[in-house]
């Protein structure tokens, strides 16, 4: 049975070529990646170059002080998906006892107490060292130029700065100096610079070219990149980050606190590689991070949906949208109950028997309950089910961030944010393919560090202070991240890399793409363009961790009949306009012909795809 095809798509066709394809959330990052491909670099050189440009041009969505996760396959081993793990852990001083003594009920949504060990830069340099071909200076050249010489101001960056301008001016003067030069917010399109970050990157490059590498008798490309990594973890960058958190500063709690990040935390962490978690769906292998991130929730959703006929899987129909929303609620309930940097029974959660039992819970009506499954020998964690009407903050604290994470961060004056991020996908002519989601270290996360030109991230807000949860704040443990890139394999070879910004919505927006391309026969661009939706019927991953029982957020283009049908079934529908949800990008490779494709999201006129 063919899927329903919306009558209106954007006029932009899917790009095709055989040389190399890249897609990202900003045109300069896409252009940077494409320039590297055009000059003979591979997908890993290109993705790293594009990622460092994203730090410069989308500082409201990601930064060097944040984190990233990636999943990739090499041309040499196209059937082996590998996770690039760039999620730092909680510092040694980040204990629930300390935070509770600070008068906190939750980890704050802004301020240095929310900072995990920054991991994004080390992860990108690790990927470049092991799988790239270019020297570090070549890869960072464009980012250094854009930071030092200037780049056009993105309007959404100005909007974000405006939302926290009073916080900057009153409590975070270093951030005001960096993002509001001369006391004003730069206008959209105005040339803006970050010379401090340009100097930071150049010093990393110089560290790799220093005489110590040559004197050690190991003056290789890999050794030079490792020298830069050491400078980041142990040298001037680490020292400046640790010094910056010693000054008490305003957090989203409405109070001033010091951070707890220490030199030992930075020196003791390195990014790494892990096997991907996978599930088979309609002849395809879907690869995600492990359950220290939310990625396996998409795998669980697919495993639940695998047992339905195709007519239940069409996101453009009432039956399909209802079934998909209900399956997502079940998987996301398990995310809350079991996921974290701990012993997670993922094999059982993905098993055919377990998913069949979960599938049987999907009825004709929308569930308004929180329904994690039962795992033998395990007690599911039941989180506090706070609604927007019961903010979990002490009296006098800032108001909760509004909005539902529909693309860019929604920031309250106190600096807290539901969060959002960037995404980049690259495939090259040889078949190397990478999907990566860099995030955190947003300009509104914590005070800027003047010597470095960036701030720390806030990923620890995704942990709980309650004991006994799978994601309780624990020194040395990673917070359960929402960053969730995807790799798709068919017949033992990587064929698609995709992902999206969007916090809790990332996998929810990727799922309709997978269903429409794998089951419905859509082209990549048609699947990106098609109307989408997501559920809010689960505790949010970001401060203030609220939920909306039965909530469903939909684009109007889903159609009046479909939306009315969802409401009749009991979904609490929020309509958000025609082109608002999803920030998908994707690259595709046909192993038989070598032909490449790329697609990017038209919403917000921000996503771009390029190639030839």
Residue 152 in tokens: 């056009």
SS3 content of the chain, % helix, strand, coil (to 5): 35, 15, 45
Residue 250 phi, psi (nearest 5): -70, 135
CA 202 to chain centre: 26
Where does the pLDDT of residue 30 fall: very low under 50, low under 70, confident under 90, or very high at 90 and above? confident
Over residues 541-566, mean pLDDT: 92
Provide the β-strand partners of residue 564. none
Where in the chain are the domains? 35-272+429-462, 274-282+305-387+488-611
pLDDT digits (tens, 9 = 90+) for 554-585: 999 999 999 999 999 999 999 999 998 888 99
> Can you give the pTM of this predicted structure?
0.92
Residue 40 CB contacts under 8 Å (≥ 6 apart), including other chains: none
Average pLDDT, the chain: 90
Q: Report the C-alpha gap between 153 and 180 in whole angstroms.
A: 12
Provide the β-strand partners of residue 546. 386
| pLDDT at residue 212, as a whole number | 55
Whether 240 has a pLDDT exceeding 80, the answer reads yes
Are the C-beta atoms of residues 81 and 71 closer than 8 Å to each other?
Answer: yes
Where does the pLDDT of residue 339 fall: very low under 50, low under 70, confident under 90, or very high at 90 and above? very high
| pLDDT at residue 82, as a whole number | 98
Place of tokens 């920030």: 583
Q: Report the C-alpha gap between 571 and 558 in whole angstroms.
A: 14
| pLDDT at residue 2, as a whole number | 65
| pLDDT at residue 390, as a whole number | 57
Give me the numbers of helices (H) and strands (E) for the chain, helices first please: 20, 21
In terms of CATH architecture, what is 274-282+305-387+488-611?
4-Layer Sandwich (3.60)
Among 16, 78, 18, 4, CA closest to 433: 78
Where does the pLDDT of residue 611 fall: very low under 50, low under 70, confident under 90, or very high at 90 and above? confident
Q: Is the peptide bond before 544 cis (omega within 30 degrees of 0)?
A: yes
| pLDDT at residue 393, as a whole number | 39
Q: Report the C-alpha gap between 331 and 319 in whole angstroms.
A: 19
Tell me if residue 291 falls in helix, strand or coil: coil
Where does the pLDDT of residue 17 fall: very low under 50, low under 70, confident under 90, or very high at 90 and above? low
pLDDT digits (tens, 9 = 90+) for 134-191: 999 999 999 999 999 999 999 989 999 999 999 999 999 999 999 999 999 999 999 9
Neighbours of 243 (CB within 10 A): 13
Handedness of CA 555, 558, 559, 565 (dihedral sign): negative
3-state secondary structure 361-426: CCCCCCCCCCCCCCCCCCCCCCCCCECCCCCCCCCCCCCCCCCCCCCCCCECCCCCECCCECCEEE
pLDDT digits (tens, 9 = 90+) for 251-275: 999 999 999 999 999 999 999 999 9
Residue 284 in tokens: 């395809």
Query: 537-550 b/e with 16+ CB inside 10 Å = b?
Result: bbbbbbbbbbbbbb
Whether 411 has a pLDDT exceeding 70, the answer reads no
| pLDDT at residue 214, as a whole number | 58
pLDDT digits (tens, 9 = 90+) for 103-139: 999 899 999 999 999 999 999 999 999 999 999 999 9
Residue 159 phi, psi (nearest 5): -60, -40
Stated as kind and residue range, the H or E segment containing 222 is helix 221-234
């Amino acid at each position: 049975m063919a899927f329903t095809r919306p009558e209106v798509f954007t006029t932009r066709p899917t790009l095709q070529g055989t040389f190399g394809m890249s897609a990202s959330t900003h045109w300069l990052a896409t252009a940077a990646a494409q320039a590297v491909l055009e000059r003979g670099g591979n997908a890993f050189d290109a993705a790293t170059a594009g990622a460092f440009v994203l730090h410069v041009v989308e500082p409201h969505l990601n930064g060097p002080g944040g984190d990233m996760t990636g999943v990739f396959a090499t041309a040499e081993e196209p059937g082996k998906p590998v996770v690039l793990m760039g999620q730092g852990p909680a510092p040694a001083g980040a204990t629930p006892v300390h935070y509770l003594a600070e008068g906190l009920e939750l980890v704050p949504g802004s301020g240095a107490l929310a900072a995990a060990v920054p991991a994004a830069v080390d992860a990108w340099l690790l990927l470049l060292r092991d799988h790239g071909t270019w020297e570090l200076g070549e890869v960072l050249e464009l980012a250094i130029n854009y930071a030092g010489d200037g780049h056009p101001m993105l309007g959404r960056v100005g909007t974000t700065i405006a939302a926290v301008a009073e916080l900057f001016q009153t409590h975070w003067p270093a951030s005001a100096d960096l993002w509001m030069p001369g006391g004003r917010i730069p206008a959209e399109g105005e040339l803006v610079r970050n010379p401090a970050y340009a100097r930071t990157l150049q010093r990393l490059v110089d560290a790799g070219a220093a005489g110590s590498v040559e004197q050690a008798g190991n003056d290789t490309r890999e050794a030079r990149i490792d020298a830069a990594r050491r400078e980041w973890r142990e040298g001037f960058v680490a020292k400046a980050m640790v010094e910056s958190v010693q000054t008490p500063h305003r957090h989203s709690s409405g109070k001033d606190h010091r951070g707890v990040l220490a030199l030992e935390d930075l020196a003791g962490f390195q990014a790494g590689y892990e096997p991907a978690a996978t599930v088979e769906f309609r002849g395809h292998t879907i690869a995600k991070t492990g359950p220290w991130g939310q990625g396996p929730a998409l795998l669980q959703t697919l495993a639940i949906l695998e047992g339905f006929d195709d007519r239940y899987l069409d996101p453009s129909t009432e039956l399909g949208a209802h079934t998909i929303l209900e399956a997502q609620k079940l998987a996301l309930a398990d995310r809350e109950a079991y996921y974290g940097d701990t012993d997670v029974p993922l094999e059982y959660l993905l098993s055919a028997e377990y998913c069949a039992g979960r599938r049987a819970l999907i009825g004709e009506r929308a569930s308004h309950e929180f329904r994690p499954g039962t795992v033998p020998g395990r007690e599911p964690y039941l989180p506090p089910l706070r609604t927007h009407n019961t903010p979990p903050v002490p009296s006098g604290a800032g108001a909760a961030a509004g909005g539902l994470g529909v693309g860019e961060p929604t920031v309250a004056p106190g600096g807290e944010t539901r969060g959002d991020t960037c995404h980049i996908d690259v495939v090259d002519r040889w078949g190397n393919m990478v999907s990566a989601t860099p995030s955190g270290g947003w300009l509104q996360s914590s005070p800027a560090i003047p010597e470095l030109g960036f701030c720390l991230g806030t990923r620890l807000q995704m942990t709980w202070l309650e004991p006994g949860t799978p994601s309780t704040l624990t020194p040395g443990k990673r917070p359960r991240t929402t960053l969730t890139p995807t790799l798709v394999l068919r017949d033992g070879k990587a064929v698609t890399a995709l992902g999206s910004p969007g916090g809790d919505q990332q996998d929810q927006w990727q799922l309709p793409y997978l269903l429409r391309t794998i089951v419905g026969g859509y082209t990549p661009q048609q699947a990106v363009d098609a109307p989408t939706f997501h559920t809010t019927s689960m505790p949010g991953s970001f401060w203030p961790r609220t939920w909306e029982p039965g909530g469903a957020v939909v684009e109007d283009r889903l159609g009046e009949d479909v939306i009315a049908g969802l409401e009749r079934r009991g979904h609490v529908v929020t309509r958000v306009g025609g082109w608002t949800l999803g920030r998908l990008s994707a690259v595709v490779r046909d192993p038989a012909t070598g032909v490449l494709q790329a697609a990017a999201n038209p919403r917000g006129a921000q996503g771009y795809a390029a190639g030839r």
